[in-house]
Amino acid sequence: MQTGDLHLGKIFYEHSLLEDQKYVLEQIIQELQSESDKNEPYNALLITGDIYDRAVAPSEAITLFDSFLVSAHAAFPTLPICIISGNHDSAKRMSFATSLLEAQNIYICTRAEDCTKPILLYPNQETKQKAPLAALYQLPFLYTGDFSALDGTVLHTQNELVTEAVRKIKIAHKQLQKSSPELAKIPALLNAHLNSLPASASDISIGTAGFVNPSIFDFFEYVALGHIHKPLSPAKNACYAGSPIEISFKNTGKNKPALQKHFLRIQIDTSEDLGSLFDQQNRLTMTKLPIKPLHPVLRLESTFDDFENGTYKKLENFGISQEDLANAYLEITCTDTVLVENPLSRLQKHYPLTMAINQQALKNINFQQSFKERRELFEDSPDIEKIDNAKLFSAFIADIFPEEKGKDWEDAKKLFLEKIQ
């Protein structure tokens, strides 16, 4: 079973996502239990890095992950839980007590040099009576200087670093295969945190990770990848599960249902006699396991009255009701031509998890022309006390109510001045 970047401790528009993340972690244990009850237990759980959202993780996030590991280990004490550090994690902090945890079948890899240590996955992890099915290697996020070339030159790019890591893993794996007849044909798997997608393949930020050519992974039967938040496959034998919860509005379409997130079930046919070449090339099966979010992430667009009066209906075709909206993280765009006063506080009375408000009226104002006119107004009256208040107020009205005709306002102002004189 594979899950993507957890980003525990993530703050979303000043709102903690810990409860959402706890809800997702509980679903991991539920899936493990479900397959175990069918007598088809998983052989390993792979977590592909970025456990935390930042290097100095908040104590609540650390406590949550600790609680998850305790629960998972208590329910499945022989299950290998395989974890790597990502570019958001502090490798040094995550390396605490790794030797002790390894004795409990919790393998946390944070050091580049440990990438050559195989984790043997057995048909029955408890008895280990039969030959292992596969050898899993773990590759945390790499930094300049983690590896050097054969001539001693320091390697800098991600592609260079990962290429060297894979070269070392190949040597270690061949030695493993030679160590015992039952291991002679054991396949190699990899759990890695890196970017193996060209820039044009994804519109999301890839942080400090440069591109790693997926052809590097041809040696492995399967590569579980972390770092990209979308479920993507850069190669037939490599896949990103994607982050288990949505942590941005930009990946969600306006007036569309929430983006479905998944875990992955990876099944590999390790039979020695697979028959045809076609069978050998199709021995890998990847199944998406839907994740239920605690709070869906939605982007909505309509008039302010539609939202405030509860008449917004554009998501009913997707089975999303007003009650569902009240439980969702929302980014709302108001299409009104007039600016709405205090829209966020007003809408949060009905939709308490409204995170952001955009007003189309602001985009309709020609700010460049407006700025030029305001500058000229102040240049004409360098002494602030001598600024024509009527002109200043007229400019304000023009910005706030751009659809109002200037002549109509001037006529109304003239009539008002006549009445008070």
For the record, the structure tokens of 178 come out as: 């030679």
pLDDT for 49: 94
Q: What pLDDT shows up at residue 354?
A: 95
Residues 212 and 176 sit within 8 Å (Cβ to Cβ): no
Backbone angles phi, psi at 76, to 5 degrees: -135, 75
Per-residue model confidence as pLDDT tens digits over 20-61: 999 999 999 999 999 999 999 999 999 999 999 999 999 999
pLDDT in tens, 265-295: 999 987 755 444 444 457 899 999 999 999 9
pLDDT at 178: 97
Q: Where are the domains of the chain?
A: 2-291, 297-364, 367-420
Residue 200: what pLDDT? Answer: 53
Residue 399 structure tokens: 């910005």
Measured between alpha carbons, how far is 260 from 293 in angstroms, rounded to an integer? 9
Do the Cβ atoms of 89 and 52 come closer than 8 Å?
yes
Confidence (pLDDT) at 321: 82
Beta bridge partners of 135: 120, 188
Share of the chain above pLDDT 90, in %: 65
Lowest mean pLDDT among 126-140, 189-203, 225-239: 189-203
Render pLDDT for 320-332 as a digit per residue (tens, 0 to 9): 888 888 899 999 9
194-220 pLDDT, tens digit each: 999 876 554 444 554 589 999 999 999
Average pLDDT over every residue of 384-409? 65
d(CA 217, CA 165): 11
Most confident of 1-10, 143-152, 253-262, 353-362: 1-10
pLDDT over threshold 60, residue 193: yes
Q: How confident is the model at residue 97 (pLDDT cuts 50, 70, 90)?
A: very high
DSSP state of 137: E
Report, as an integer, the average pLDDT of 376-387. 61
The residue-averaged pLDDT of 303-309 equals 90
Cα–chain-centroid distance for residue 345?
Answer: 28
pLDDT at 387: 67
Q: What is the mean pLDDT of residues 117-141?
A: 92
User: What's the rounded Cα separation, in Å, for the pair 165 and 191?
Assistant: 12
What is the SS3 assignment for 416?
A: helix
Return d(Cα 95, Cα 101) in angstroms, integer: 10
Beta strand extents in 110-221 (DSSP E only): 119-121, 134-139, 188-193
For residue 371, how far is the Cα from the chain centroid?
A: 39
Average pLDDT over residues 133-155: 92
Collapsing DSSP to helix, strand or coil, 413 comes out as helix
State the pTM of this model. Answer: 0.82
CATH topology (fold) of 2-291: Purple Acid Phosphatase; chain A, domain 2 (3.60.21)
Helices (H) and strands (E) counted in the chain, each on its own, are 13, 16
Q: How far is CA 75 from CA 34, 244, 400, in A?
A: 12, 22, 61
